[in-house]
């Protein structure tokens, strides 16, 4: 199979590329290296069935492929807020370009959407039929609304042009190859703990997230891409284990044996207070559920970050 992975040099994309290359597929990894890195894909460059293309998804790209995984988009709040106009362009124009390509070459195309489409959810836990509670004009909107518009485009190309689409909504995912400086909570806490710096809890630390280890996520993503024809999703992919940021910080301190202290910083605007996926649809359609508990995943991630110091 010839497979295009946009955002393939990023955190999740690099794990996906590895899986596909090891399966023997012909993989094109397309990335502009905004938040991704060549280091993430360095071990793949020796494979004859792996190819890296430096390209921006806001510009058209043409290749004869059978499947497209569309992951290109910065995912951490500081990075997607750095150039919010570009973030929106990446989601919307990237979706249009990849859907146009899929239409032209009759490829199946999967969109990496996000739990952010639920915004600050008033329904808990979140099921796919919940429409969300999203601020259209806040500092998170470039990402949330960009991803919502991308979902709309996917379903319109499907209805209007019969493009074969798959949409997954990814909940907070963590693991090796995360950029240590990208500002997300797992990487921040681990790096702070390993350096003996204060651990920065935003707000009271009572807000919750559900953390999925990257290997579990990539398996779900792969199963969705290869799921039965006509099953478009959207489907939630995440680990239903729900933790407060205070609980996460304590786990990181225990697992690293760090003497770091907790300090409170202001809560960023529109920070969702709770997040937990219902994954019944993924269980039924994909026979998928996460297998790696938070502590086990954190241990592997801590080992990775130790190596980056
Ligand atoms: P990441 O920032 O590590 O990876 C994103 C990749 O996209 C990077 O390699 C970056 O260089 C590339 N990219 C950004 N803009 C681009 C552009 N205009 N053209 C080409 N490449 C571009 O983030 P990630 O965590 O690996 O996320 C991958 C995808 O999964 C993103 O679409 C993200 O929105 C989605 N997602 C991730 C999470 C999570 O918790 N990690 C949760 C929900 C959704
Ligand atoms: N957070 C925190 N300290 C940090 C970074 C993040 O307390 O150093 C909090 C943040 O306010 C949010 C949660 O951790 O409530 C998850 O943040 P992240 O940026 O990882 O992802 P998202 O908010 O997009 O789910």
DSSP per-residue string spanning 6-69: ETTTSHHHHHHHHHHHHHT-EEEEEE--SS--HHHHGGGTT-TTEEEEE--TTS------SEEE
Q: pLDDT tens for residues 4-36?
A: 999 999 999 999 999 999 999 999 999 999 999
- Within 10 angstroms of residue 295's Cβ, the number of other Cβ atoms is 10
* pTM of the entire predicted model: 0.98
Residue nearest to atom 10 of ligand 2 (CA): 202
Q: How confident is the model at residue 284 (pLDDT cuts 50, 70, 90)?
A: very high
Q: pLDDT tens for residues 239-272?
A: 999 999 999 999 999 999 999 999 999 999 999 9
210 Cβ below 6 A of ligand 2: no
- Within 10 angstroms of residue 159's Cβ, the number of other Cβ atoms is 10
Q: Which atom of ligand 2 is least distant from the CA of 272?
A: 15
What pLDDT is stored for residue 115 in this prediction? 98
75 Cβ below 6 A of ligand 2: no
Q: List the catalytic residue out of 143, 157, 213, 222.
A: 143
Distance 13 CA to ligand 1 centre (A): 8
- Within 10 angstroms of residue 261's Cβ, the number of other Cβ atoms is 11
Q: Residue 70: nearest ligand to its CA?
A: 1
| Domain 2-171+213-238+277-291 coded CATH 3.40.50.620 | no
Q: pLDDT tens for residues 147-198?
A: 999 999 999 999 999 999 999 999 999 999 999 998 999 999 999 999 999 9
Q: Which atom of ligand 1 is least distant from the CA of 40?
A: 9
Phi and psi at 287, nearest 5°, equal: 50, 45
Q: pLDDT tens for residues 288-309?
A: 999 999 999 999 999 999 999 8
10 Cβ below 6 A of ligand 1: yes
What pLDDT is stored for residue 184 in this prediction? 96
List alpha helices for 141-261, DSSP H.
Answer: 141-161, 185-195, 214-225, 245-256
Q: Residue 41: nearest ligand to its CA?
A: 1
Assigned token pair, 2: 């010839």
Q: Which of 299, 13, 268, 9 is nearest to 143 (CA)?
A: 268
185 Cβ below 6 A of ligand 2: yes
User: Tokens 């579990």 map to which residue?
Assistant: 216
What pLDDT is stored for residue 298 in this prediction? 98
Rounded distance between C-alpha atoms, residue 202 and residue 83, angstroms: 22
Assigned token pair, 20: 């596909």
Q: pLDDT tens for residues 202-238?
A: 999 999 999 999 999 999 999 999 999 999 999 999 9
Q: Which helix (H) or strand (E) holds 237?
A: strand 235-237
Q: pLDDT tens for residues 41-83?
A: 999 999 999 999 999 999 999 999 999 999 999 999 999 999 9
What pLDDT is stored for residue 73 in this prediction? 98
34 Cβ below 6 A of ligand 1: yes
Q: Which of 7, 155, 148 is nearest to 88 (CA)?
A: 148
Assigned token pair, 46: 């020796």
Rounded distance between C-alpha atoms, residue 71 and residue 13, angstroms: 7
Q: What is the mean pLDDT of the chain?
A: 97
Residue nearest to atom 1 of ligand 2 (CA): 185
Residue nearest to atom 23 of ligand 2 (CA): 271
Whether 213 is catalytic? no
31 Cβ below 6 A of ligand 1: yes
Residue nearest to atom 1 of ligand 1 (CA): 10
Q: Residue 88: nearest ligand to its CA?
A: 1
Q: Residue 79: nearest ligand to its CA?
A: 1
146 Cβ below 6 A of ligand 1: no
Residue nearest to atom 19 of ligand 1 (CA): 56
Distance 286 CA to ligand 1 centre (A): 23
- Within 10 angstroms of residue 152's Cβ, the number of other Cβ atoms is 12
Q: pLDDT tens for residues 116-147?
A: 999 999 999 999 999 999 999 999 999 999 99
């Amino acid at each position: 199979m010839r497979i295009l992975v946009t955002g393939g040099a990023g955190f999740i994309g690099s794990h996906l590329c590895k899986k596909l290359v090891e399966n023997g597929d012909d993989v094109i990894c397309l990335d502009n290296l905004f938040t991704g890195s060549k280091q993430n894909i360095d071990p793949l460059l020796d494979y004859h069935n792996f190819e890296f293309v430096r390209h921006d998804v806001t510009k058209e790209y043409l290749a004869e492929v059978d499947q497209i995984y569309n992951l290109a988009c910065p995912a951490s709040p500081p990075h997607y807020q750095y150039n919010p106009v570009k973030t929106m362009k990446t989601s919307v124009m990237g979706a249009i370009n990849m859907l146009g390509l899929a239409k032209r070459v009759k490829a199946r195309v999967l969109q990496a959407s996000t739990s952010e489409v639920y915004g600050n959810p008033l329904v808990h836990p979140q099921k796919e039929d919940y429409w969300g509670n999203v601020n259209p004009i806040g500092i998170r909107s470039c990402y949330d609304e960009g991803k919502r518009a991308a979902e709309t485009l996917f379903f319109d190309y499907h209805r209007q042009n019969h493009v074969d689409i798959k949409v997954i909504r990814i909940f907070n995912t963590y693991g090796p190859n995360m950029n240590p400086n990208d500002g997300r909570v797992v990487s921040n806490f681990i790096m702070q703990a390993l350096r003996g710096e204060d651990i920065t809890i935003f707000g009271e630390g009572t807000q919750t997230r559900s953390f999925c280890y990257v290997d579990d996520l990539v398996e779900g993503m792969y199963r969705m891409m290869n799921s039965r024809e006509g099953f478009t999703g959207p489907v939630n992919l995440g680990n239903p284990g729900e933790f407060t940021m205070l609980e996460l910080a304590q786990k990181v301190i225990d697992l690293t044996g760090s003497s770091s202290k907790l300090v409170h910083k202001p809560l960023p605007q529109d920070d969702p207070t709770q997040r937990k996926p219902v994954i019944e649809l993924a269980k039924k359609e994909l026979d998928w559920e996460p297998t790696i508990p938070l502590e086990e995943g954190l241990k592997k991630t801590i080992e990775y970050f130790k190596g980056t110091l």
